[in-house]
Amino acid sequence: MPGHTSTRKERLSEVAGLFAKLGVIAFGGPAAHIAMMREETVWRRHWVTDQQFLDLLGASNLIPGPTSTELAIYLGYARAGWQGLILSGTCFILPAMVIVLALAWAYVRYGATPQATWVLYGIKPAIIAIIVQAIWGLARTAMKGAALAVLGGTVVALYLLGVNVIALLFGAGILMMGVDHARRTRRRPRLAMVAPWPGLAAAGLVAVPPGVASLHLATLFLTFIKIGAVVFGSGYVLLAFLRQDFVERLRWLTDRQLIDAVIVGQFTPGPVFTTATFIGYLVGGVPGALLATLGIFLPSFVFVALVYPLVPRLRASPWASAFLDGANIAAVGLMAAVTWQLGRAAIIDGLTLVLAVLAGVALIRFQVNSAWLVVGGAAAGIGSHLLFH
C-alpha cells in the first residue's frame, strides 16, 4: 500500500489531521462516521484494505463502547502504532467535546438548547447518501458467498423486528462458525456453545457517597467509566444507562435535562457519547465535563489496545475467521437497517430527496469528498430556511 516510506512523525500528523477533521464534520451518528472513515482510510489514503477495515469494524462491534470511536482508535493504531491509537481517538473526540461544552454553557446560562434543525435539514440527506455508498462497498467485500448474503438480509429483517443488536452480532458469528465447520467436515452444521463476552464488574466502583466536591466528581467519573465499560449498542442503549444512574439512582438530573443532553449529543458532530460532556458540565462545571468525557471514553482505548493484536490472529484461524465473517456481514446488515430508519427521518420532502440524489451522484460519479457534501448540505439547509421561513 502507498505510504510505506513515510516516517512515524508524518504518519502521526496524518492521523491527527484526518480524525480532527472528522471530529468537526462527522454528523449523522455511528453509521455516518464509519462511512466517512472508510472513504478516507480505504479509498483516499489506502491505510487499510476493505477487508482489513471490515475486520476492524467487526472487532469494534464486539467490544463495549462507542463503535465508531473505537474504529477510529483501531485505524490510528493500524497507521501509527500506540501513539496513533491515542492520537486518533483524542482528535476524533476533542472537537465534539469542545462544541458540546459550549452548548452546555449556553444551556445553563440561557436555559435552553440552541436550535440547529435548519442546518441538519440539509446535512441529513447528504449523510444518507454517504452511508449508502459505504454500505454498498462494504457489502461487496463482506458477502463472500450465498450463505453470507442470506445472513446479511436476515440480520436486517431481525433488527427491524426488534431483535437485540448484540444477539445478532454474536449469533451471526456463531452461525458462520457452524456453517464453516460443516463445509470443512462435510457434515451438517452444529452450533458451538461459546462463553458470553467477559463484561467488567464495574458497578461496585461507583458507590462513593457524594458530599464534598471531590467525592462528587469521583462519583461522576467512576459512573461514566462503568457506563463506558459495559454499554453495547446505540445511543438509545446509552440513554437507558444514563437515566438509571443520573435520574433514578443519583437524582442529579431531571428527565428533561437528560433528554436535552441526548439531543445535543445527537445533533453535534463526532461521537454521540459526548452526551457525557453535557451531563458532566451540568453536574460539575468544566471539571465535571472533562472527567465525564474521560470516564466514558477511557475504556474504549483500553479495550482496543488489548484486542487489536488479536485481530490478525482471528483472521488466520479458520474458526475465528468464520466468526469474524459472520460478525462483519451482521455489522453491514445493521448499518443498512439503521440507514433505512435514518433515511425515513431525513428524506421528508422533495427538496431533501433532491439533495440526497445530488449527493449520491457527486459521490459515485465525481468522487467528491464527503466533507464538501456536509458543507453543501448545511448551506442548502440554511438557504431553504432563509427562503421559505
Q: Place 111 in a pLDDT band, splitting at 50, 70 and 90.
A: low
User: Mean pLDDT over residues 270-287, rounded?
Assistant: 93
Q: Give pLDDT, residue 76.
A: 97
Q: Give pLDDT, residue 33.
A: 92
Segment among 2-16, 107-121, 235-249, 258-272 with least mean pLDDT: 107-121
Residue pair 301/125 in contact (Cβ under 8 Å)? The answer is: no
Residue 225 C-alpha from the chain's centroid = 18
User: Mean pLDDT over residues 246-270, rounded?
Assistant: 82
Quick count: other Cβ atoms within 10 Å of Cβ 51? 14
Q: Give pLDDT, residue 235.
A: 53
The type of residue at 314 is L
Higher pLDDT, 262 or 305: 305
Of 334, 327, 239, which is closest to residue 62 (Cα–Cα)? 327
Q: Report d(CA 206, CA 103) in Å as an integer.
A: 27
pLDDT exceeds cutoff 90 at 299: yes
Of 326, 1, 60, 357, which is closest to residue 189 (Cα–Cα)? 326
Q: Report d(CA 160, CA 168) in Å as an integer.
A: 12
Quick count: other Cβ atoms within 10 Å of Cβ 313? 10
Whether this model's pTM surpasses 0.75: no
Residues 6+ apart with CB under 8 A from 204: none
**Lookup: cell for 36:** 466517512
Q: Give pLDDT, residue 193.
A: 34
Q: Give pLDDT, residue 210.
A: 41
Of 82, 65, 68, which is closest to residue 26 (Cα–Cα)? 68
pLDDT exceeds cutoff 80 at 348: yes
pLDDT exceeds cutoff 50 at 378: yes
User: Mean pLDDT over residues 212-238, rounded?
Assistant: 78
The pLDDT tens digits for 177-224 are: 998 888 877 654 443 333 333 332 333 333 333 444 678 899 999 999
pLDDT exceeds cutoff 80 at 25: yes
For 360, what's the count of Cα atoms within 13 Å in the CB-facing half-sphere? 14
Q: Report d(CA 355, CA 357) in Å as an integer.
A: 6
**Lookup: cell for 109:** 446560562
Q: Give pLDDT, residue 152.
A: 92
The pLDDT tens digits for 29-76 are: 788 899 999 999 999 999 999 999 999 998 888 788 888 999 999 999
The type of residue at 97 is M
Q: Report d(CA 282, CA 276) in Å as an integer.
A: 10
Of 204, 69, 151, which is closest to residue 326 (Cα–Cα)? 151
